[in-house]
Amino acid sequence: MNIIDIKDLHKSYGKHPVLKGIHFQAKPGEIIGIIGKNGAGKSTLLEIIMTIKGFDHGKVSLFNQDLQNISDRQLEEIRSDISAVLQPTQFYKNLKVEELLKLFKAYYQSDMDIKKVMADFKLEPHRKTYFEKLSGGWKQKVSLAIAFISKPKLIVLDEPTTGLDPHMRNMLWAYITEYNQKTGGTVILTTHYMDEIEMYCDKVMLLNEGRNEVFDTPDQILSSTGFQSINEFYLKNVSI
């Protein structure tokens, strides 16, 4: 059983090809990091996985269902098992942090303990602050907390730690790891921090020139290439 199974995926914007034959699988419980330079197509790939962007050619299956051969109802069911945090986090203007969490808990009919979520994400100091008045990193933290409320089987995070201070970065990774171990949920994320790939990801995919040049465990990449770190591997394999 694959949570995600992608074969020969192609996607262009107008005449500009971005994805030129991606092959990608995610199994239940895996944490997979996608890396690549700015504009490589990472966010585009995540948006296709989230079913909010179409594609030109290839096969995309989620939870063993081929996206090109499913009914609206099946698509709705698939979507209810996915949570995501994308790059811009400018939503939810007129709600306070605690109100937002309660709203999503009710919407998803989740039994998640909001007090625990607030404590885990250290959100108490801004419990009664309006979302739009938070700093960028705090908005990111609240958006991430919301993503876990529905207890998704698949969580898709686009640069979740960009803009977070070092303590918050550690906190988020502790949370992702705990969520993954407790629920068996699958996590797909992008990051520009190569240390996160080494420390936390089961597998890493390097997206370069529209293709997944490498898709393996960090250990296997290091042992087969002889590089000391994923950062060194990246710098030697990807041109500016």
Ligand X SMILES: Nc1ncnc2c1ncn2[C@@H]1O[C@H](COP(=O)(O)OP(=O)(O)OP(=O)(O)O)[C@@H](O)[C@H]1O
Residue 33 contact partner, candidates ligand X, Mg ion, none, CB within 5 to 8 A by sort of partner: none
Q: Which two tokens stand for residue 51?
A: 């079913």
Secondary structure class of 180 (helix, strand, coil)? helix
Q: Report the C-alpha gap between 158 and 144 in whole angstroms.
A: 10
Options 36-44, 68-76, 147-155, 229-237: segment touching ligand X (CB under 6 A): 36-44
Residue 41 contact partner, candidates Mg ion, ligand X, none, CB within 5 to 8 A by sort of partner: ligand X
Minimum distance between the CB of residue 87 and Mg ion, rounded to whole angstroms? 6
Query: 99-108 contacts: CB < 8 A, separation 24 or more?
Result: 100/131, 100/142, 100/146, 101/142, 101/145, 101/146, 101/149, 104/146, 104/149, 104/150, 105/149, 108/149, 108/150, 108/151
Verify binding: residue 88, ligand X, rule CB under 6 A.
no
Verify binding: residue 18, ligand X, rule CB under 6 A.
yes
Minimum distance between the CB of residue 30 and ligand X, rounded to whole angstroms? 21
Minimum distance between the CB of residue 110 and ligand X, rounded to whole angstroms? 29
Minimum distance between the CB of residue 42 and Mg ion, rounded to whole angstroms? 5
Find the binding residues for ligand X in span 200-219 (CB under 6 A). Answer: none
Q: Helix-strand-coil percent breakdown of the chain, rounded to 5?
A: 40, 25, 35
Residue 205 contact partner, candidates ligand X, Mg ion, none, CB within 5 to 8 A by sort of partner: none
Residues that bind ligand X (CB under 6 A): 13, 18, 36, 38-44
